[in-house]
Structure 1
Amino acid sequence: MGNKHEARSGWQDSRLMTLSQLVTATDNEETGRSIGDPTVRFRVPIYQRLYVWKKEQIERLLNDILDAWKAGNADYYIGGTLVVERQSSDRQSQDLELIDGQQRLTTLLLTALYRLDAQKQPVESSSSYHDLLFHPGTASAGRDPRLHFEIRDKANIWLHTALRKGLKEARKLNLAEEQAHDNFGISPHNETISDDTPRDGGIVKLEYGIEIIEEWFTNNSTLISDQPQGQCDFDTYLLNHVRMLVTSVPGTMDLNHLFETINDRSVQLEHHEVLKARMLKWLKGDDNGEGKEGTYTACARIWEACSAMDDYWEDALAEAAGKNKVNVYEAIIEHKIWRSGALGGSVLSSVALSGKAAIDLCRPKDVAQNSDPAKDEVSLEKLVKDWGNASDLPSNTDKAGDGDHAEKQSSASLISFPMLLLHTLRIWLHRHGPKGADLERFDSFKLLETFDALLLSDNSMSHPLPDIRERVKSFIELLWEVRFLLDQYIIRWVELKEGGEWGHRILRLEQNKSTSLRRADAEQSGDKELSLLQSMLYHSQDIRQLLWLTPLLGYLHSRTFPTEERSGQTALVPSEQGTESDLTVFMRHLDNGLFSSPSLGSKNSETEAESLLQRSRAFLEKPWRSFKKPTIEPLHGGFHGTDDMPRTSHYWYYKADFVIWRRYQGGSQSNESLPQLQGQNDVTQGQLEDAWQHFRFTARASVEHIRPQTSQEEGQEKEGWGDALHSFGNLALVSRERNSEFSNKPYHEKRVKYLTRLRQKDLQSPKLALVYLYGGVPEPSGLGLKHGEWGAEHAKAHMEWIERSMEEYFSLAGYSGKKIADTEP
């Protein structure tokens, strides 16, 4: 056995593995080596934090696994784990020192511990949970925990007790630990336990993790017992279908350098970094006479620039290319590698930097010095060895000069880089892949598997681009162009005020009259409707996918970077003050078709529900496609739903707010002035209009009854309300904080609080503004409703008014397709 571990000590590898495979000898088909090992131990070194995950992080991981299991997914991918191989002192075990991903793996092991204890199996059992948690040991030593914390003796004693005697006995140790830490003010349920706690004080955090896991299983017991048809049970799924990218490196590495790099740059070897190595290996010959000089190095720099999602593209490109931002601007303007913008800017021209032009900009100055294939070759092993070092792949050869005077805008992207890669892949498949090719599921944890199957597989007989090298080149060019469009026309998180207030904005890089470039707020060009539409969809849809981005980015790409077959298309009309841009019209059309229409009118729409993935693909193929007229039926679901209609989703609350806001503020069509306020509202017309101008969508997750279900006013009756109490007319979507503060307070008390916020330019919700300022209906209703009051008749009239407004909005030009181009891309 000792020879076996000696033979393995000099190699490094990376593989997607399950928990069971970690402790089972499994051959790697690519290397012929065994990755899993029945004798493995997981060691947490002293320089690592103990266990610090909190309730939110633990529950998010378990919820994601549960969702994947319930959806029938074959596997679920949870990210990467970096380990260093060590040989145990007795030379009988393989020790894996956890360098990165320790918190996630520890959570999974604690989950296995809880499930093992809940099943009340004997210590001698050979179940999968036992095999995962217990080291086989020797006949004399018995079975000890596989997980071991260096120096932290009390944590190890707690684990040993929990495994051999059960969690009930281990909790007694926790009580003793609490008493021992009284002087430090530590509570076992306090989520702000200090990381400065003495090293042996680790029991509290492990016990806290177990309590959260136990609570989660209790709350989800019904879902877990309801095993999906054709799916394994949840425990089997947890052990055999939750996969992580385990990267092992030899113990001979300079770990100080490795760990400092991880701490300094907060990077980990993620799937997209492995994909980078796999993709670029097809281009390594291009720096050695087999293609245009410097392509390999330039594409590596483009990838690096695209991955810097929290920087605007000009900052990321300057850093990756080893230039300052002024150099990038000069190259764009002086060398004419830009075209006049077709997608926005009132009197300014919009810049468009193509993928080919960006690659040329990133080519090394001296190809002879930068094209040594032995030096520049990219491999997974080299990527792991340098772990986050910029030299692991060809990068910037020159440091940015002192000419970069423009400060970076504090901002953050809506999506992660793996999400950008998947959106780009969908567009690439539409442009270059087999007919109808698309992702089976939009899952960033399946990034490697997805690219292997759809872009890197050797299916030359059936693929329009048989040469994989050409596929990679075309994909990286497209990746840059999509990243460029993301920064130009899609909202980002932007710091609005110094000190922490963030909101959604579109800041476009545009050329002014002096030929210099600047980032300008698109709303100054009358495009607030565009940014609010995008913000509405961001807050109301699954932020792990944002599938509406694929057809939107595809549409932008076909108009911004036309190919020969699309060169005759009519460009989008620039936005001007007081008018709608065609991009805004398309955005409205896309939203209505994806989320408000019952179907796209496909052949199977009557019998088979279309997934959002399928719908978004349909709009990618034909952006101005027709669809069935949107319906207001979902509004009738209300708070509880009915036998025929589910409860109204959050999307429709956001949609109602947008429609109301737009009616009195948005585009040029159907634009009205806010009705004059009547009576004593404690706010002026100017204050209301000012708050309306400043309206922004924010995260709201709680549905509030305007007339509460249980009122604090004694003697208040529910007579006359009936179904109106739980109808959409008596409901509003608010933040959890507001709902917990106001949920049971009477209408008049809520109104006072709302008006106070409104005077501070916080509109919160246009729907609520109508409720508290206009009695729900901002026009003569004929019912004699009094403003400043709220009864069942107000809620019903408010509901009817919203339905009419929705119908009018859906009747605007563009819901069924306003065709601008003569041909579709």
Structure 2
Amino acid sequence: MSGIVPELAIIDTAGSIFDRGDRYEIPLYQRPYAWGEEHIERLIEDIDDIPTGSDQKYYLGSLVVARKGDSLWEVIDGQQRLTTLYLLLSALGIRSDEENGALTFSCRAKSDYTLAHLGKLGISGEVEDKLVEQNIANGMRVIMQKLATDFDEEGLATLRKKLARTCLYRIEVPEHTDLNHYFEIMNTRGEQLEQHEVLKAWLMEPLSGRDAAMFASIWDACSDMSCYVQMRFDVPIREKLFGWGFDAFPTSARIRSVPWNTEKGGNSLGIKDIVSSRSVCEGQRGEEDDDPSRFESIIDFRFFLLHVLKVFAHTKSIVGKDEDVPLIASLLDDKKLGQTFHEVVSKGLWEGGPVDRARFSIEFAECLLQTRFLFDKCIVKREYVGGDLDGKWSLKELRRESKKSYRYSNTKFKRTKCQWASTLDKTNKSVLMIQSCLRVSYTSPKVMHWITELLTRMMDDPSLAGSEEFASIAEECASGAAREFLVSGDYMQGVNTPHIVLNYLDYLLWSREKRRYDDFVFEFRTSVEHWYPQNPSDDTFVKWGEVDRFGNLCLVQRNVNSKFSNLNPVAKKSTYQEMIAKGSLKLRRMSELTQGIEDWKGGVCQEHEREMLGILKEACGIPSDLTLND
């Protein structure tokens, strides 16, 4: 490969992917077309899910090919998706170059015959049934039925527009590649190339020798999010990167001192090397860690790369040529992973000039490893030990104890503003709680901007990763959103009340009485509950016009919301005591305060609201005399 991996627009002004002169041949060693209803409908739904009102492209998958002539490509991987796109375009009436064999199957006459007669399938006398490849014909029927059922004329027009914003990456394998052997690898692997694998190849293009070996080793180590990154390196390299104790920050000097193995991916990166990369943690394991799936990251590698790119652009002062247009979009979109990197390189300014690709790749790899080390040490994760299937929130760091053993212990945060630095385990608990508060509030990885903020602050000053000050930095990520809510003055938002506000309030209540609420943990409480219900059951008590006020709200798990139904506060308190005892702290406080239905409406709820908003205001530095909804 040379240059950027080609993007093939499914539709553009020159026609469709099958109407531009390129011909794609499915070799005999490939299995016949086999996608069923589930796969076909998912592809159409993926395209239909693309947001409207934007001109940005969306990545639909990769197509691995070998050149057989000037315009003839042998398809090695991606033929199921490619064939389905051919059927979809045909169903939408979008022209393909059938006469010149835009898509053909080597030595499969039935498949070719069916593709040539797609528009006549099912018409008596027009098609010889015995010559039809039934899987392709069934695929066409699935598509036609899906389009007829789910789309009207306007919907079909919108779908065509969205197809014009989708693309495939066409990856050409090097000349003289053993295609049969390569196909066996892909077939065993059982899935298409991931976006981050294509991105890896692109980033490595300008590198060679030691630089390429360094990049490949770091990328492979960081791509496994299921274990601490130190464990993806052999012990001698691990010691050079992270010190004897495996717990030192991997500075650029440490990274550059490593004798990277140039025999292993040191000159170029073939597609075969990408797909056969390791997927399990390697290296020496400690006595306490026999299970590589002990830890679970809260984000996958694709989103981690987007966070690191933002951190990298900040630390290296890479800015956009247009000051009014952000170089990197605020929303983290994994579907545009490759595109986002390409735009930073092509549109960014580094030290006043264009971005040098080789330098970008080398320094990005260093930042990737450094950020991953900080992520493992200081960003909350789920831990599964002792047969625990639900897992628990964990904030631990890896420490070597002896030449043959290591252990995971609570990340240490030290007090730095006193003469004698001391380790504070309670700071670990506070950081764990505020991060788990953030995690359950922002459930979509696209909006976990707090991770970027924490990683950026630590990369600006790595000493923060072991400092008591880190707790207050993490808390700022939550208090900012709560402050916006408070300043708005609208405390009657009901189910639209931001979850982070209610979760952050629970964190503040826990912080004030840690011993009392020692059993409290943040869970995915994703439903806003009205303590006094919106719709009283069986008309046994009257509706209340102030049910949406902040004092009457809390977060509960969705299944709890259905159980609470429309009972009055007294009935909820008496019926669901055990559930409430394990619920949010605000819910527990409301239950404790409830004596009667009329009392709750007549003043108890309002006083509870004043107290809760007061706690939030104090934490956010907002004057307490801000007008409330009485």
- TM above 0.5: yes
| Structure 1 residues 542-561: aligned runs within 5 Å | 542-560=444-462
| Structure 1 residues 224-263: aligned runs within 5 Å | 234-247=158-171, 257-262=181-186
| Cα 1:261/1:696, change in 2 over 3 Å | farther
Q: Does 1:15 align with 2:6?
A: yes
| Match in the other structure for 1:310 | 226
Give the CA deviation at 1:77: 1.7
1-structure distance, mates of 2:605, 2:103:
61
Match of 1:633 among 465, 472, 489: 489
| Structure 1 residues 761-772: aligned runs within 5 Å | 763-772=582-591
Match of 2:296 among 400, 405, 412: 412
2-structure distance, mates of 1:22, 1:42:
26
2-structure distance, mates of 1:703, 1:150:
60
8 Å contact from structure 2 (residues 349, 355) kept in 1: yes
The Cα RMSD (Å) is: 5.2
Q: Does 1:585 align with 2:509?
A: no
| Match in the other structure for 1:706 | 531
Match of 1:469 among 343, 358, 363: 358
Q: Does 1:494 align with 2:383?
A: yes
| Structure 1 residues 698-737: aligned runs within 5 Å | 698=524, 700-711=525-536, 713-719=537-543, 721-722=544-545, 724-737=546-559
After TM superposition, the score normalised by the length of structure 1 is: 0.59
Give the CA deviation at 1:486: 0.7
SS in 1 for 2:487: coil
Alpha-carbon deviations, 1:7-57, whole Å to 9, x = none? Answer: xxxx9995222222599478xxxxxxx994477688996467523638995
SS in 2 for 1:269: coil
Percent identity of equivalent pairs: 22
| Structure 1 residues 114-153: aligned runs within 5 Å | 129-131=92-94, 136=98
Alpha-carbon deviations, 1:739-762, whole Å to 9, x = none? Answer: 344434554554456423356xxx
Give the CA deviation at 1:311: 2.2
8 Å contact from structure 1 (residues 707, 730) kept in 2: yes
Match of 1:363 among 260, 274, 277: 260
Give the CA deviation at 1:695: 1.3
| Structure 1 residues 499-538: aligned runs within 5 Å | 500-510=389-399, 517-522=406-411, 525-526=425-426, 527-538=428-439
Give the CA deviation at 1:519: 1.4
Match of 2:500 among 630, 648, 651: 651
| Structure 1 residues 124-273: aligned runs within 5 Å | 129-131=92-94, 136=98, 234-247=158-171, 257-262=181-186, 264-265=188-189, 268-273=192-197
Give the CA deviation at 1:314: 1.4
| Match in the other structure for 2:127 | none
| Unaligned 5+ runs, structure 2 | 125-132, 413-423, 624-630
8 Å contact from structure 1 (residues 632, 803) kept in 2: no
1-structure distance, mates of 2:307, 2:410:
25
| Match in the other structure for 2:128 | none
| Structure 1 residues 368-387: aligned runs within 5 Å | 370=263, 376-378=266-268, 383-386=270-273
SS in 2 for 1:455: helix
Alpha-carbon deviations, 1:577-599, whole Å to 9, x = none? Answer: xxxx2101111123333x2344x
SS in 1 for 2:169: strand
1-structure distance, mates of 2:475, 2:556:
24
| Cα 1:95/1:696, change in 2 over 3 Å | same
Amino acid at match of 2:328: E
After TM superposition, the score normalised by the length of structure 2 is: 0.75
Give the CA deviation at 1:312: 1.1
| Cα 1:480/1:633, change in 2 over 3 Å | same
2-structure distance, mates of 1:205, 1:771:
56
1-structure distance, mates of 2:175, 2:318:
45
Give the CA deviation at 1:100: 3.7
2-structure distance, mates of 1:732, 1:152:
64
| Cα 1:213/1:235, change in 2 over 3 Å | closer
8 Å contact from structure 1 (residues 414, 493) kept in 2: yes
1-structure distance, mates of 2:587, 2:79:
45
1-structure distance, mates of 2:311, 2:539:
61
Amino acid at match of 2:307: H
Amino acid at match of 1:308: D
Q: Does 1:353 align with 2:241?
A: no
Amino acid at match of 2:433: L
2-structure distance, mates of 1:86, 1:330:
44
2-structure distance, mates of 1:652, 1:255:
56
1-structure distance, mates of 2:551, 2:134:
57
| Cα 1:235/1:259, change in 2 over 3 Å | same
8 Å contact from structure 2 (residues 482, 616) kept in 1: no
1-structure distance, mates of 2:142, 2:385:
38
Q: Does 1:439 align with 2:327?
A: yes
Give the CA deviation at 1:130: 0.8
8 Å contact from structure 2 (residues 320, 349) kept in 1: no
| Cα 1:360/1:657, change in 2 over 3 Å | same
| Structure 1 residues 97-108: aligned runs within 5 Å | 99-100=77-78, 102=80
Q: Does 1:421 align with 2:309?
A: no
Amino acid at match of 2:249: A
8 Å contact from structure 1 (residues 482, 553) kept in 2: yes
2-structure distance, mates of 1:707, 1:751:
11
| Cα 1:413/1:210, change in 2 over 3 Å | farther
SS in 2 for 1:283: coil
Match of 1:802 among 593, 612, 617: 612
Mean Cα deviation higher: 734-743 or 248-257: 248-257
SS in 2 for 1:498: coil
Alpha-carbon deviations, 1:409-463, whole Å to 9, x = none? Answer: 5223222333333322322222323567763324333333433343367978833
SS in 2 for 1:631: helix
8 Å contact from structure 2 (residues 26, 74) kept in 1: yes
Alpha-carbon deviations, 1:632-689, whole Å to 9, x = none? Answer: 63533224xxxxxxx4233333333333333332xxxxxxx65xxxxxxxxxxxxxx4
| Match in the other structure for 2:418 | none
8 Å contact from structure 1 (residues 283, 295) kept in 2: yes
Give the CA deviation at 1:545: 4.5
2-structure distance, mates of 1:423, 1:63:
27
| Unaligned 5+ runs, structure 1 | 1-10, 27-33, 117-128, 139-143, 171-198, 226-232, 288-293, 339-349, 561-570, 576-580, 599-628, 640-646, 666-672, 675-688, 776-784, 814-825
8 Å contact from structure 1 (residues 81, 101) kept in 2: no
8 Å contact from structure 2 (residues 226, 295) kept in 1: yes
SS in 2 for 1:695: coil
1-structure distance, mates of 2:80, 2:108:
17
8 Å contact from structure 1 (residues 533, 587) kept in 2: yes
Give the CA deviation at 1:488: 0.7
8 Å contact from structure 1 (residues 510, 520) kept in 2: yes
Give the CA deviation at 1:480: 1.0
Amino acid at match of 2:549: S
Amino acid at match of 1:416: D
Q: Does 1:298 align with 2:200?
A: no
| Structure 1 residues 672-711: aligned runs within 5 Å | 674=516, 689=517, 692-698=518-524, 700-711=525-536
Amino acid at match of 1:764: G
Amino acid at match of 1:439: L
| Cα 1:296/1:235, change in 2 over 3 Å | closer
| Cα 1:458/1:771, change in 2 over 3 Å | closer
| Match in the other structure for 2:578 | 756
